[in-house]
Structures are given as C-alpha cells and as structure tokens.
Amino acid sequence: MNPKLKKGDRVSLLYMSGEISMSPGECGTVTSVDNVFGDTQYGVNWDNGSRLALLTDTDAWKYEKKQIKENELAKMSFVNKNEDMFRFFKIGFFRKYLLAIRKSGIVNMIAAGNYLWMGKERIEHEFKYKHIPNEEGFEEVLDMANQAQAEMINGVIKYLEENEIDENMDNINRYLRRFAPKIVESYIRF
C-alpha cells in the first residue's frame, strides 16, 4: 500500500482522509511530487475532475490496475471496514514505526500493538535486562516511541470527540487497545 509515486503514474484511491467526495476506487494521474512538512504530497488529476492531493501519512492508494484482483478487493474491504483507523491515525507514520520494530527484532509483529502506545521510557524499562537482537534498530524504535504514543493518544481523542464519548482515562486506554491491533493488522495486510 502507498507505493512511492512519480509524475505520470496512475493511482487508485483506497482512502482519503476527510474527503467524503472521494470514494475508494477513484483513479487519477500524478501531476506533482512535493515534500510538505516532512510528508510527501502527490498532486493528482483525478478522473472525476477533482485535484485533491494524496498525503502519505493520512491517505491510502495503490497503483492503478485494469482489473481488481481478489486480494485488492479484500484490501479495499478492510479499508472500508476500518475507516475510523484511517481517518484518525497517521497510518504512514505507524508503518514506518512498525518497520523499525520489525527491524529491531524485539517482538513478533502480531504482538507489536502495545508498542504503539507504550512510549520510550516504558519500552526502555521493559528491555533493560533483555537481549536485543538489533541494537541500532532498537534505538530507532526508541527515537520514534514517544511520537508513536502521542499519535495514538491524539487519534483516540479525536475518535472519542467525534463520537461524543467521554474522554476519560478508562475510555482512552480502552480505545488504545482497540485501535492498536487494527493498525498492526493494516501493516501486515499492506
């Protein structure tokens, strides 16, 4: 999911954050590639006439193919069923973070969900006396851990606000544990 694009590439939309006018399956041609505040932004001339850009941290796309394969339909179905995850969380950032976790070898990816919200101090404490297979990879995880924690909490709070759910610690913790495995599943699927 979210392959790097260049000018002239054809893309098919899986999800666009905050844009109800754009449906999964919309196709378009990349017209520009820009770096905006550390995020890659792709200008796209969509076949439906829209000129909305794709953002790597919030949107999901794939190369356009003439026929949609069964696994692509499954991916689109997953995106549709988990729209909240794509709306409230920076999936592009979490993909990079989960790649760092994988590279470090500190945990099986199925069990990586808790590391999305634990934060640097708690992760350091957990591994203080344990063997770390890849020290360099582990340092990368620690460098990103507090941002991952903040992104998880911010995404949960946005979700709670939009759904008018009380923003107390019990609900925040409950929804952290609800969304973390879904984010890991999206990493595994895509």
| Domain chopping of the chain, boundaries | 10-81, 91-189
Buried (b) or exposed (e) across 90-101, using 16+ Cβ within 10 A?
Answer: bbbbbbebbebb
pLDDT greater at residue 140 or residue 18:
140
What pLDDT, on a 0 to 100 scale, did the predictor assign at position 68?
A: 47
Determine the average pLDDT of the residues in 37-65. Answer: 86
| Contact residues for 42 (Cβ-Cβ < 8 A; gap 6+) | 5, 11, 30, 32, 33, 34, 53, 54
- For residue 116, what pLDDT band results from cuts at 50, 70 and 90? very high
Would the pLDDT of 37 be above 60?
yes
Answer with the residue of higher pLDDT: 67 or 175.
175
Q: What band does 67 get if pLDDT is binned at 50, 70 and 90?
A: very low
CA 32 from centre of chain: 22
Q: With a threshold of 0.75, does the pTM exceed it? A: no
Average pLDDT over residues 136-157: 96
